[in-house]
Amino acid sequence: MSIAFIFPTKSLFASSSNSGFTLCISAARRTFSSTSTLYAKKKMPPKKMQTAPKVLWGRPGNNLKTGIVGLPNVGKSTFFNAITKSELGQAANFPYATIDPEEARVAVSDARFDWLCQFYKPKSQVPASLTVFDIAGLTRGASTGVGLGNAFLSHVRAVDAIYQVVRAFDDAEITHVEGDVDPIRDLDIIHEELRIKDAEFVNKHLEVVKAFTKRGGQSLEMKAKKEEEATLERLLKLLTEEKKDTRKGEWTNKEIEFINTLLLLTAKPVIYLVNLSEKDYLRQKNKHLARIKAWVDENAPGDLIIPFSVAFEDRLTRMTHEEVVAECKELNTKSMLPKIVDAGRAALNLINYFTCGPDEVRSWTIRANTKAPQAAGVIHTDFEKNFVVGEIFKYDDLKELGSEAEVKAKGKYMTKGKEYIVENGDICFWKAGRK
C-alpha cells in the first residue's frame, strides 16, 4: 500500500462573418429584392449554463478562528505555544491543564508580502494573521457532560475550523487519559462525541420545526419551514444512521446556507495533526501512520493529514532564527508550522489582498468569492457602504513589470465595480464616496 503524507520533503499528501446576411442568402440559394422583408437568421450557439459558485461552509465573515482539539496530554498546549510563539498554553502532564481557552494571533508567512515590503519600503508593515484557540481536552462521554464536556463542546462550536492533534508517540513520562497510546481509538472518541452532540442538537431543532409545520398552510414561511424540516431529517439520518460528519453529506447551496446557521461541530473543516516523537519525525516513519490514514480515508475522506513533532517544534522556539536555520540544515528537515498555518487558512477558504504605498504595506484577509465592496469593508465599514470603484492590479504583474507605471502602460491596471470578485494576490486601491 502506498501512503503519502506531508513531510518536509514529501507532500500529501489540484465569428461570425461580417457578410452574415449575404452569406445566409447564398447558402439558402435565394434571391431577395430590395423590398423583401424576409431575413435569413443565423443559428446561434446554445447558451452556456452558468453554475453558481459553491456556498462555503461556516459563518460568513473574515474574522474566522481555528481551534486546537484533542484528548488530554496529546500535545495541544505545547503546540499552541509553538505556533503562537507564546507561553499562553498551560502545558502540563495531567488532564484539564487547560480549562478556559487561550487565544492568540499567528503571523502568516507570505513571500508576496515580503517582496512588496522590499519594493515599497513602507514605514509600516502589517502581515496577515490567523487566530488560534487552545481548547480544553475532550474525554470519552463529553457529549453527555463528562469531565469538561459541555464547556469543551461550546468552545469548539465557537471556532470555524479544527486542528485535531492526534498522539502517535510513546513516552512513559507523559500519561494518556485512556491508559495507552492508540490513535485510532482517540480518533473514534472525538468523532463520536462531536457527532452525538450534533445529532442531539439537530433532533431538538427538528422537533421545534415539526411543531410549526403541523399547523399546515400554504404561506411562504410554511414552505420554508417544510424545506428546513426535510433538510434536518436528512441531516439526522446522516449523523445517526450513516454515522457521517455533516460536511461529508451531499448538500445543495440552499441547504448549506441553512445548515450554516446551526453552527454544527461536524460541519467544521478538520486538519489532522499527527504528533510524532522527534526521532520518528526526522526519520519520517511511524508505526501508526498507515492506520491513521486508513481511518481518515474511511471516516473523513479528503481531509488533510500532517505529521509533525510538537517536541521538535517546541525545541526550535527556544532558538534564534540563525540557530533554527543551522539546526534544520544539519538535520535536513524544516519546521511544519508554516504549512500547518497555510492549511488552516485554506480550510477556512481565506485569501489575501494587499494595500501598498510608502506609508504602509498591509495584507488583508478575506474569504474566497468576496466581492469588492465587502473586501474594502474589511478596512473600514464606510468603504463598503460608500463604495465607488476599486483600482486593481496583480502582484504577479507588478513583480514581472517592475513598476506601477509599467503596469498601467501595459493595460494591467484595472478599474473594477461592485460585482468584481477579489482574487488572491490582488493589489487594491479603494475609492469611496462621502456619506
Numbered residues of the known binding site for ATP: 73-78, 276
CB within 8 Å of 116: residues ≥ 6 apart: 354, 356, 361, 395, 427
Beta-ladder partners of 283: none
Number of Cβ within 10 Å of residue 265's Cβ equals 23
Burial 279-317 (b: 16+ CB within 10 A, else e): ebbbeeebebbeebbebbeebbeebbbbbbbbbbbbebb
Is residue 373 exposed (0-12), middle (13-18) or buried (19+ Cβ within 10 Å)? buried
What's the first-to-final CA gap in the chain, in angstroms?
A: 64
Where is the binding site, in residues?
Answer: 73-78, 276
CB 269 within 8 A of CB 162: yes
Burial 344-363 (b: 16+ CB within 10 A, else e): bbebbbbbbbbbbeeeebbb
CA distances from 134 to 4, 54, 72, 191 (A): 28, 30, 12, 19
Burial 16-47 (b: 16+ CB within 10 A, else e): eeeeeeeebbeeeeeeeeeeeeeeeeeeeeee
CB 73 within 8 A of CB 137: yes
CA distance 267 to 202: 12
Instruction: Say what angle helices 149-157 and 183-213 make with each other, to 10 degrees.
Output: 70
**Main-chain dihedrals φ then ψ at residue 424, nearest 5 degrees:** -60, 125
Q: Which grid cell sits at 107? A: 503571523
CA distance 407 to 356: 14
Beta-ladder partners of 271: 163, 304
